[in-house]
Amino acid sequence: MSRVAVIGAGAAGLMAALELKAAGHEVIVLEARERVGGRIHTVHFSNGSWANAGAEWVNTTDVIVHELCERYGLDLTPRYGFESYAFDGRLEHRDEDFEQIGEEVEKLAASLSDRDEPWNDPVARSLDRSNVAEWLRGLEHIDPDVRRRYPVYIRGEYMVEPEELSLASLVLAHSGTAGDGYARFTAGTAALTAAMASDLGSARILLNTPVQAITTAASSVTVVTATDRYIVDAAVVAIPLPALQRIKTDPETDFPWLGQGRGGKLLVPYRDRLWESARPAADAAATRFEFIYDNASHQTNAAGVLAAYSMEILDEAEVLDSFATWFPGLPAPSESPIRAWWSTELESGTTYSAPRPGDLDALRRLREPFGRVRLAGEHTEIVFGYIESALASGRRVAQAIDQAAAEGASA
């Protein structure tokens, strides 16, 4: 049995801690926030509505998510309700327009020979030298208007500009997930991390405990907070890369960097869901955001929550003006909107990762050990950005630590 410190109580950190605990290791989780969950965060309004301020979507291919739902008795609700893109300031749901582009992505995905270690795949390496914008310009057989609109989808899905996103990342993400069957947690995504934390036990989780420094030696790791020092056999760092940059390391460690998404959500509560019965007006709104949807569509009360989802940090008045333009007669919000701009939070600094051209080698290195320290989080997975990605990383790292401990004990 070894002693392991897990830094971060998001989905990745909790998964790593649970797996290590189950394998018989002694675990302590250090979390900077006053809550567990990380970028999984369900917020509540006074009228009884709630909304997912962070991660929420679950795919049919998410094996670990479904495993945990069965373990903890959590329900999923199929995706439905109002949602729309904002093209040129007008609301349109045009996924069907992108089917041809999706077919082109599928062709590239079919040409991959090693999706588990794409840095060893010549095709993936070639794709990693290009960005999505360059590739899109070359699809001259596809309607120019569709190609002009597709960047709105990229911004809304990956929270970066198409020029910033590696073509390899787009193809790998597409090949690793099902394109249909999205659902969300019936009781909010935080029900998952709350159940995981309860299973782990509150005594093993220290909230409001940001880590200041990590010192590694040949046979131990020292994790330093403002009030304590934890000397352990291994450490799991399960926080986003921008937050990791804030921790001092000794010896100094130059952790690889991946492209990072930015922005987040503005969650606006209303007394009823007027948008379900009213057709959006044809007028164009002066807006900078990419996607709007009902974040509370599956809740039983009449109230609703419209989410403006954007890679830009939006002014509240701009969002409300856009909603009023699209839905004339929409009343004022029932209470103040909730801002969830993840890239501005010190504990995250990003929405989720969005690898740039040339980032394949950085991804490979992020998955390797740094002495007795290992990294977990969605940014360390081939298919990045999902709840499943974070959970898979936690399990993978826990298994590696358990194996290393077993080999050390038998040596």
Q: pLDDT tens across 23-64, in order?
A: 999 999 999 999 999 999 999 998 888 999 999 999 998 999
Say which amino acid occupies 196: M
User: Taking 90 as the threshold, does the pLDDT of residue 182 lie above it?
Assistant: no
Q: What is the pLDDT of residue 92?
A: 84
User: Taking 50 as the threshold, does the pLDDT of residue 277 lie above it?
Assistant: yes
CA atoms within 13 A on the CB side of 111: 14
User: Taking 90 as the threshold, does the pLDDT of residue 94 lie above it?
Assistant: no
Cα separation, 19 vs 36, whole angstroms: 17
Of 175, 203, 231, which residue constitutes the final position of a domain?
175
Q: β-pairing, 211-216 with 248-250?
A: parallel
- How is the chain split among helix, strand and coil, in percent rounded to 5? 35, 20, 40
- Per-position DSSP letters for 85-144, written without gaps between them: EEETTEEE--GGGGHHHHHHHHHHHHT-S-SSSGGG-HHHHHHTTSBHHHHHHT-TTS-H
Average per-residue pLDDT for the chain = 93
Cα separation, 10 vs 377, whole angstroms: 9
Of 344, 368, 395, which residue constitutes the final position of a domain?
344
> The tokens 């038998």 sit on which residue?
410
Of 344, 363, 381, which residue constitutes the final position of a domain?
344
Confidence of residue 410 (pLDDT cuts 50, 70, 90): very low
Q: What CATH number should be reported for the domain holding residue 230? A: 3.50.50.60
Residue 85 resides in a domain: no
User: Taking 50 as the threshold, does the pLDDT of residue 411 lie above it?
Assistant: no
Q: What CATH number should be reported for the domain holding residue 72? A: 3.90.660.10
Cα separation, 311 vs 319, whole angstroms: 14
Q: What CATH number should be reported for the domain holding residue 125? A: 1.10.405.10
